[in-house]
């Protein structure tokens, strides 16, 4: 898109906002072209802005959702179906497709569609090739791309087109569906709709469990201009506020003239930012984390201390299934498929508790001969004590050693470049390696998070002797001995 066309569409969009969408825009901001920095259109402060100032205000009827769309106006039956029996995603995808493909220039939102991102600029993971996806190994984000679920939704859209008899949309392609769904993923907001009086009369008695507007009480909506703000987890200085009649973007900190206005899309790590929105924060997200799979904990216990893998799996199974242990944890599960390690050093206490239980159980004499009932009772006591010491910021030496081994085993999964410090100029914006560089940034963010968490353990936990903790666990000795030994003692009496 040429500079003139880009600027013309920007000005037409601003004219539409002020004159047709009735958006009140502060004179202290402007919409500018930052494509040179790979950021597209952005909102910039043209004057100093104080915290609390309203940057713009958007009437609710200028938002695009299943309630305001032209599709909902075709018939009361379609409108009610969209609100009560169609999922949030399917409803908004279909509404946008109808505006964008059928009405086109006749759509009220056409100037808004004209500033939607070009398909060639889309970098969320749905647009990555299979070869490019490999750059992200071993990030768990690979399991969350969602192509299979997208195919299911595409078929649902086709079914709705047939049901609503929208012949004009019969030729909707997979590529068109993915584009609209990606735009919604990147730019939509979930807006509560309790104040929409025209929705109150619609019945939600028969919704077949569908996550719909009437069932959940919110509208997935496109919010013109609000979605032009870039997001930065460290630099967020504005927030979208809701009222019964409008939405206002308000400064939440002072914004000097010439600085960009940033919103925040959520507490997302770089991997999720890339998956949803197609970009990364090159210096790392404030909410980055890495993940330790449960299977690495199991194998590490075997490799580090020689604990039989069958025993580890049995302990995990009992902890997962035991109602007695569940009561100790107040129904918060200790056994998870993955354990998060946050970039700020926060570690899930469940992971430390599990590791402490494993290393302690392995030191109980003859525990491998315990029947299920006795093993469950023993693990119940160990878990109770482990929860106590972990909650008090303590762990045993063996627990710390196993934590270190687990971290090192997980880090072995990552390529060497994920451990290198990279200068900002390493990430060339406009080149053929952009997606590879973004993948490297994601992996670096995860490695940094895992490393920070282990360093946090060393700093923040007091290390105690294993024998001291083991002695505390075994004070009531009979509870930690197999039935056969208890029966022998009784016989001697």
CATH number for the domain including 273?
3.90.1410.10
Residue 476 has what pLDDT? 61
Q: How confident is the model at residue 392 (pLDDT cuts 50, 70, 90)?
A: very high
Tell me which of 277, 297, 328 is where a domain ends.
277
84 and 169 belong to one structural domain: yes
105 and 15 belong to one structural domain: yes
The phi, psi pair for 260, rounded to 5°, reads: -80, 150
105 and 237 belong to one structural domain: yes
Flag whether pLDDT at 404 surpasses 50.
yes
With respect to residue 322, please indicate whether it lies within any of the assigned structural domains.
yes
230 and 95 belong to one structural domain: yes
Whether the CB-CB separation of 282 and 422 falls below 8 Å is answered with no
- Residue 466's closest CA among 303, 356, 315, 309? 356
With respect to residue 36, please indicate whether it lies within any of the assigned structural domains.
yes
With respect to residue 52, please indicate whether it lies within any of the assigned structural domains.
yes
Tell me which of 254, 277, 300 is where a domain ends.
277
Q: Kindly state the average pLDDT of the residues 263-275.
A: 94
Rounded Cα distance between 409 and 303, Å, is 10
DSSP conformation class of 261: P
Mean pLDDT, the chain, whole residue set = 89
Flag whether pLDDT at 425 surpasses 80.
no
With respect to residue 159, please indicate whether it lies within any of the assigned structural domains.
yes
Whether the CB-CB separation of 54 and 253 falls below 8 Å is answered with no
248 and 314 belong to one structural domain: no
Residue 81 has what pLDDT? 92
Rounded Cα distance between 465 and 397, Å, is 6
- Residue 257's closest CA among 16, 32, 7? 32
Q: Kindly state the average pLDDT of the residues 272-278.
A: 95
Rounded Cα distance between 129 and 135, Å, is 10
251 and 321 belong to one structural domain: no
308 and 245 belong to one structural domain: no
Of 111-115, 327-331, 466-470, the range with the lowest mean pLDDT is 327-331
296-315: pLDDT as tens digits: 999 999 999 999 999 999 99
Those residues with Cβ within 8 angstroms of residue 275's Cβ, 6 or more apart along the chain or in another chain: 124, 125, 141, 144, 145
Residue 329 has what pLDDT? 83
Residue 203 has what pLDDT? 46
With respect to residue 434, please indicate whether it lies within any of the assigned structural domains.
no
With respect to residue 470, please indicate whether it lies within any of the assigned structural domains.
yes
Rounded Cα distance between 194 and 439, Å, is 41
Full domain range(s) for residue 321: 289-413+449-492
343 and 203 belong to one structural domain: no
314-362: pLDDT as tens digits: 999 999 999 989 888 887 899 999 999 999 999 999 999 999 999 999 9
272 and 302 belong to one structural domain: no
Of 188-192, 307-311, 394-398, the range with the lowest mean pLDDT is 188-192
**How many domains, the chain?**
2
What is the sign, positive or negative, of the torsion defined by CA atoms of 249, 255, 260, 262?
negative
271 and 304 belong to one structural domain: no
Flag whether pLDDT at 478 surpasses 60.
no
Looking at the DSSP bridge assignments, the partners of residue 249 are 56, 240
- Token duo for residue 306: 């020689």
Flag whether pLDDT at 204 surpasses 50.
no
| pLDDT over 90, % of the chain | 79
Tell me which of 277, 298, 328 is where a domain ends.
277
Flag whether pLDDT at 401 surpasses 80.
yes
232 and 326 belong to one structural domain: no
Flag whether pLDDT at 192 surpasses 80.
yes
158 and 187 belong to one structural domain: yes
- Residue 141's closest CA among 56, 268, 230, 255? 268
Which helix or strand (DSSP H or E) is residue 13 part of? helix 3-19
Q: Kindly state the average pLDDT of the residues 131-153.
A: 95
Residue 284 has what pLDDT? 95
Of 215 and 482, the structure prediction assigns the larger pLDDT to: 215
With respect to residue 432, please indicate whether it lies within any of the assigned structural domains.
no
Whether the CB-CB separation of 55 and 26 falls below 8 Å is answered with yes
Distance of CA 263 to the CA centre of its chain: 17
Those residues with Cβ within 8 angstroms of residue 390's Cβ, 6 or more apart along the chain or in another chain: 349, 352, 353, 356
213-257: pLDDT as tens digits: 888 888 999 999 999 999 999 999 999 999 989 999 999 999 999
With respect to residue 42, please indicate whether it lies within any of the assigned structural domains.
yes
Of 330 and 11, the structure prediction assigns the larger pLDDT to: 11
């Amino acid at each position: 898109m040429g500079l003139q066309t880009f600027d013309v569409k920007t000005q037409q969009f601003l004219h539409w906002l002020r004159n047709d969408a009735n958006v009140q825009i502060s004179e202290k901001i402007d919409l500018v072209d930052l494509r040179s920095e790979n950021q597209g259109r952005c909102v910039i402060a043209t004057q100093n802005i104080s915290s609390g100032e309203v940057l713009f205000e958007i009437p609710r009827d200028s938002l695009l959702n299943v309630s305001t769309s032209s599709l909902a106006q075709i018939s009361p039956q379609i409108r009610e179906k969209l609100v009560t029996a169609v999922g949030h995603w399917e409803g908004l995808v279909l509404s946008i497709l109808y505006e964008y493909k059928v009405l086109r220039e006749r759509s009220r939102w056409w100037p808004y569609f004209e500033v939607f991102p070009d398909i060639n600029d889309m970098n969320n993971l749905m647009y990555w090739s299979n070869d490019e996806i490999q750059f992200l190994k071993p990030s768990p984000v690979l399991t969350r791309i969602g192509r299979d679920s997208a195919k299911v939704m595409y078929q649902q859209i086709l079914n709705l087109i047939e049901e609503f008899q929208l012949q004009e949309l019969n030729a909707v392609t997979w590529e068109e569906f993915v584009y609209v769904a990606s735009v919604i993923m990147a730019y939509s907001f979930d807006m509560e709709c309790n104040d929409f009086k025209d929705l109150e009369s619609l019945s939600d008695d028969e919704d077949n469990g569908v996550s719909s507007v009437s069932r959940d009480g919110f509208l997935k909506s496109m919010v013109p201009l609000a979605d032009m703000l870039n997001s930065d987890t460290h630099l967020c200085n504005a927030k979208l506020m809701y009222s019964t009649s409008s939405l206002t973007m308000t400064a939440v900190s002072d914004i000097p003239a010439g600085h960009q206005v940033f919103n925040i899309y959520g507490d997302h790590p770089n991997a999720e930012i890339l998956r949803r929105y197609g970009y990364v924060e090159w210096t790392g997200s404030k909410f980055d984390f890495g993940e330790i799979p449960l299977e690495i904990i199991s194998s590490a216990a075997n490799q580090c201390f020689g604990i039989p893998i069958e025993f580890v799996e049995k302990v995990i199974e009992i902890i997962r299934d035991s109602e007695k242990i569940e009561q100790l944890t107040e129904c918060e599960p200790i056994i998870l498929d993955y354990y998060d390690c946050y970039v700020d050093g926060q570690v899930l206490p469940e992971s430390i508790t599990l590791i402490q239980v494993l290393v302690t159980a392995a030191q109980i004499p003859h525990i491998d001969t315990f029947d299920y009932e006795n093993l469950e009772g023993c693990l119940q006591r160990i878990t109770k004590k482990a929860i106590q010491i972990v909650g008090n910021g303590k762990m045993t030496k063996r627990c710390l050693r196993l934590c270190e081994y687990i971290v090192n085993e997980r880090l072995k999964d990552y390529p060497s470049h994920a451990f290198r410090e990279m200068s900002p100029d390493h990430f060339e914006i406009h080149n053929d390696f952009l997606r590879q560089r973004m993948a490297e940034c994601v992996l670096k963010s995860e490695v940094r998070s895992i490393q920070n968490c282990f360093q946090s353990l060393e700093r923040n936990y007091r290390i105690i002797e294993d024998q001291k903790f083991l002695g505390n666990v075994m004070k009531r000795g009979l509870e930690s001995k197999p039935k056969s030994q208890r029966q022998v003692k009784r016989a001697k009496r």
